[in-house]
């Protein structure tokens, strides 16, 4: 099993550009989530999904969209990138829900200039 | 908002010594989890302790939970150079809201050879 995979590993955007961060898992987990990690900070929850077709907002959802058309994929879209969105983004999945052990991807380092 | 706060922010010890990290949180929880993050990598789950448990062991790890004080500690015994990493506590709230984890800012542990 590859576990949780994320692409790209690195990305540089200009202010106002849009892009999609990809996340996929091959463990048949119902729950998937996106977090951002800023320097000296812990992770903060952006959006999460408890199954295909179901998404919900986390702590810091503004400026981001998600969709969940399949169990495997959970892309994160930046609609109009801003310098404040410079961060490292982690995707995670869990078999039973957000309360359980989460499996993290390797992260995408995004810089917005 | 950060639910968990780890203490100390940084810890440097000699190989073979024990390392203790503490975590405090603010709201009622379902469980508390500890994760490890090596530099530039994703997070790896270490251990989960439920709100009705007081102590849990996994190999060289020992976790305690005191819900009356809203605090937890992670003890790593007989430390090794490979234990050098950042350690995060994360809580799952029992008070409703977003179904995800709330992370602290982490303790950066350095094991000196």
Tell me the per-residue pLDDT of B16-56, one tens digit each, with 9 for 90 and over.
Answer: 999 999 999 999 999 999 999 999 899 999 999 999 999 99
Query: Do residue A43 and residue B88 have CB atoms under 8 angstroms apart?
Result: yes
B78 contact partners, CB below 8 Å, separation of at least 6: B16, B18, B60
**pLDDT cut 70: percent of chain A above it:** 100
Query: Do residue B44 and residue A106 have CB atoms under 8 angstroms apart?
Result: no
Give me the pLDDT at residue B4, please: 66
Ranges A9-13, A50-54, B94-98, B106-110: which has the least confidence: B94-98
Distance CA B55, CA A27 (A): 30
Give me the pLDDT at residue B57, please: 97
Looking at residues A2-7, what average pLDDT do you find?
A: 96
Residue whose C-alpha is closest to residue B98's, from A33, A72, A63: A33
Interface of B with A in 43-62 (CB under 8 A): 43-45, 48
Distance CA A28, CA B22 (A): 34
Give me the pLDDT at residue B8, please: 92
- Residue in A48, A92, A99 nearest the CB of B31: A99
Q: How far is CA A85 from the centre of its chain?
A: 13
Scan for tokens 């801003």, then name that residue: A82
Looking at residues A3-27, what average pLDDT do you find?
A: 98
Token pair recorded at residue A45: 């929850």
Give me the pLDDT at residue B3, please: 58
Strand bridging mode B10-14 / B107-112: parallel
Give the 3-state secondary structure of residue A4. strand
Distance CA A34, CA A70 (A): 16
Give me the pLDDT at residue B2, please: 47
Across all residues in chain B, what is the average pLDDT? 93
In tens, the pLDDT along A85-97 reads 999 999 999 997 8
In tens, the pLDDT along B62-106 reads 999 999 999 999 999 999 999 999 999 999 988 777 888 999 999
Distance CA B19, CA B11 (A): 8
Give me the pLDDT at residue B5, please: 80
Confidence band, pLDDT 50/70/90 cuts, at residue A41: confident
- Residue in A33, A99, A104 nearest the CB of B30: A99
Answer whether A77's CB lies under 8 Å from A64's CB.
Answer: yes
- Which positions in chain A touch B35 (Cβ < 8 Å)? 104
Answer whether B18's CB lies under 8 Å from B76's CB.
Answer: yes
Across all residues in chain A, what is the average pLDDT? 95
């Amino acid at each position: 099993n590859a576990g949780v995979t994320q692409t790209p590993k690195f990305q540089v955007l200009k202010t106002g550009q849009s892009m999609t961060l990809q996340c996929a898992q091959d463990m048949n987990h119902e729950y998937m989530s996106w977090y951002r990690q800023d320097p000296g900070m812990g992770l903060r929850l952006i959006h999460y999904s408890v199954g295909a077709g179901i998404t919900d907002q986390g702590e810091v959802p503004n400026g981001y969209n998600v969709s969940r058309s399949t169990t495997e994929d959970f892309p994160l879209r930046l609609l109009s990138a801003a310098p404040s969105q410079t961060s490292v983004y982690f995707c995670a999945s869990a078999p039973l829900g957000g309360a359980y052990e989460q499996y993290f991807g390797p992260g995408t380092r995004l810089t917005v200039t | 908002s950060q639910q968990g706060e780890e203490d100390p922010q940084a810890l440097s010890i000699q190989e073979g010594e024990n390392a203790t990290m503490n975590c405090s949180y603010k709201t009622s929880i379902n469980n508390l989890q500890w994760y490890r993050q090596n530099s530039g990598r994703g997070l790896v789950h270490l251990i989960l302790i439920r709100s009705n448990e007081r102590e849990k062991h996994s190999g060289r790890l020992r976790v305690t939970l005191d819900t009356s004080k809203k605090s937890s500690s992670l003890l790593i015994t007989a430390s090794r150079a490979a234990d050098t990493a950042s350690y995060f506590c994360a809580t799952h709230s029992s008070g409703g809201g977003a179904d995800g984890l709330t992370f602290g800012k982490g303790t950066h542990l350095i094991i000196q050879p």
